[in-house]
A and B are shown apart, each in its own frame.
Chain A
Amino acid sequence: MTTVSSIGSRVGLRVLQTVVVAVFVTVIAAVLVRLAPGDAATTLLGDRATPEGVARLQAQLGLDRSVFAQVAETLGNVARGDLGTSLTRPDQPVSRIVLDALPVTLSVIAAALLVAVVVGVPLGLIAGTTRRPAVDRGISLAAIGLLALPSFFLAIIAILVLALTLGIAPAGGWGGGWPENLKYLWLPALSLAVLRLPQVVRVVREAAREASSHEYVEAAVARGLSPRRVTARHVLPNCLLPMLALVGFDAAVLLSGAVVVESIFGLPGFGRELVTAVGTRDYPTIQGIALTAALFVVFVNLVVDALYALADPRVRTAR
């Protein structure tokens, strides 16, 4: 039934979807500035607004032209990789600011994902395979508490306990390069990972429960395989796909969390650039970061979909 051409058209449709979503993302980012009540240029200048200043800024932001012209121009510029120029740092193209900050934010997210998997998968497997409801209940109570707490609070506690009291990590800052950065990276990554932990545990737990009910797992138990081997060989692989879906689903949430955690630890990533830009109302920078972040999420979802197809034997053998 599944032919090469239908897979080809499915991939084509998926790529077309991504392109259209990316265009919409760009339009939304371009329209954001126009949501200001009154004129964005006046809002941006605040008390310092003079007629000439407003006119100059309007021209610079392109607000003196029609909405369609502005959106069309933004689309063209983004396609060429041009995100405009920072208002407060006229010598800095926004693309430069974004490209400098992106690796920091990505390394925080990557390290946090690593920690969340290393800690969360075993916890989820325990919760999913335990026969004691008390353990399961305890884990869920803690999970709700973690889901409800604001992300910055845990980071502050981490700084207080691990950095200031125990002194096993710097309380903030960033090294000059790798691997020196690792020293500054692990505490922010841990804080972000703890916040995402309830989700990882929940997904692994549900996948483990689901897998345990399959006949091949019962058959493996009946063949006399040790519980550990059954978990490792038959239950764990079934948790991989839901985990992958979670990463795709959670990419935007991870970015939000990274922004908050970075600003607490003073890392030179998106968080710091955003807070600085918000303070100085540097609109092009904020727009550039919002656009890059959303495009990144769209890209991650495309990659996750592709990996999903590669990792799922049912999809793989269908070729």
Chain B
Amino acid sequence: MSATAAAPTHPVARVARRLRLPSDVGLLIGVGTLAAMLALAFLLPVVTGYGTNEFAGAPYQAPSLSHPFGTDQFGRDVMVRTFAAAKVDYMIAFLAVGVSLLIGTTIGVVIGVVHGGVVDWLLSRLVDAVIAFPLVILVLALVVAVGPEKSAPGLPAGTPALLIALFVFGWAFYARLAHAQALSLREREFVVAARMMGYSRTRIVMRHMLPNVLATATAYAVGDAVFIIGATASLAFLGAGVQPPTPEWGQIMFEARGVLETAWWTSVFPGLALVVTGLALALIADGLIQRLEGGSK
């Protein structure tokens, strides 16, 4: 609730900073990993000949040459499903973070520009109120309102409710972030100079403030995507995430929870994919921030 809470660097990126990778190396590893996982998501069904929801052999086969990640309770290929889930999880993270960023940044910059006064104060309190709602509880409430089985064109069942909840919740963080940034940018030399040269408020916001705010927010958003994917996975456990049979890492792990001892491969590989994705995103977030810091010097 205090203004100091608006740390411009995402916690995930700050942890990644301690790995001390140069920004180019981090960005290359991060982007390369994500691209490779997506490529496998599209290629594997073609190469192996198994669809994501197709019977591929006997159920609960241990990893072997024909099924490197084994098979699940319906005899589906776990490797095909693990990588297919990357498509779903990346899409949710991208949409959730992207829309929140655009809405939140716009509102935040507006609050920052109308600095002072009742509008600033009231909008800031609205941001506080939205952030006070625990995400999991908010999603559960919205899922009941929207309907957990609802699907939309291009979106698997369960995702519309989840995405709406992530939008309703997510914009507030970016608004707080952009607000704090806009306030500090107001005092920077190039903005002060632009004001003295008599440029209009709109021009200063669009040309001088928004690009800076968007750059920081984007770096923050990449780190945030790690949390979004983790939350999506956790919500699958409560029945409020992506609905089966669409593969999603949390959903796969949830379905496999009863056989962790006997068929560990059904949950360990999706879990590994989650962790690898988190690491890749953390490296990208850290790389972007290093670039930003380097650029501002």
Contact = CB atoms under 8 A, between A and B. Distances in A.
Contacts of A148: 226, 229-230, 274-275, 277-279
A-side binding surface: helix, strand, loop or mixed? helix
Given A140-B19, A152-B254, A245-B5, A147 B135 contact: no
A202 B14 contact: yes
Contact of B132 (A21, A34, A144, A257): A21
Given A150-B274, A270-B137, A43 B142 contact: no
Contact of B128 (A145, A295, A298): A298
B102 interface: no
B132 A136 contact: no
Contacts of A35: 142, 145-146, 164, 168
Contact of A141 (B19, B136, B240, B249): B19
Contacts of B5: 245, 249
A143 B279 CA distance: 10
A43 B253 contact: no
A305 B3 CA distance: 12
Contacts of A287: 141
B15 A133 contact: no
Contacts of A294: 129, 132-134
Interface string A252-288: 1101110110011000001000110111010100110
Interface string B112-134: 00000000001001101111111
A301 interface: yes
A20 B132 CA distance: 13
B264 to A, nearest CB: 10
A156 interface: yes
B166 to A, nearest CB: 13
Interface string A234-258: 0000000000010011001101110
A298 B145 contact: no
Contacts of A137: 18-20
B136 A256 contact: yes
B279 A297 contact: no
A25 interface: yes
A295 B146 CA distance: 24
For chain A, the bracket of interface size reads 35 or more
A305 B2 contact: yes
B94 to A, nearest CB: 16
Given A286-B141, A289-B137, A17 B253 contact: no
Contacts of B261: 160
B234 A278 contact: no
A24 B129 contact: yes
Contacts of A252: 131-135
B146 A36 contact: yes
A153 B261 CA distance: 13
A248 B1 contact: yes
B11 interface: yes
Given A28-B133, A293-B134, A297-B132, A140 B233 contact: no
Contact of B134 (A17, A29, A256): A256
Given A21-B129, A202-B11, A278 B137 contact: no
B18 A140 contact: yes
A55 interface: no
B15 A140 contact: yes
Interface string B6-49: 00000110111011100000000000000000000000000000
B238 A263 contact: yes
Interface in A30-46: 32-37, 40, 43-44
Contacts of B274: 148-150
B164 to A, nearest CB: 7
B22 to A, nearest CB: 15
A150 B145 contact: no
A259 B18 CA distance: 31
B126 to A, nearest CB: 5
B257 interface: yes
A157 interface: yes
Given A152-B234, A198-B15, 18 more contacts: A32-B142, A36-B145, A140-B15, A141-B279, A145-B279, A147-B11, A148-B279, A149-B271, A150-B231, A150-B236, A151-B234, A256-B135, A259-B136, A290-B133, A290-B137, A293-B137, A294-B133, A297-B134
20 contacts: A17-B125, A28-B129, A36-B146, A144-B16, A149-B274, A150-B234, A152-B253, A199-B11, A202-B15, A245-B2, A248-B1, A252-B131, A253-B134, A259-B136, A275-B238, A278-B148, A278-B240, A290-B137, A294-B134, A301-B132
Interface of A: 17, 20-22, 24-25, 28-29, 32-37, 40, 43-44, 133, 136-137, 139-141, 143-145, 147-153, 156-157, 160, 198-199, 202, 206, 245, 248-249, 252-253, 255-257, 259-260, 263-264, 270, 274-275, 277-279, 281, 283, 286-287, 289-290, 293-295, 297-298, 301, 305
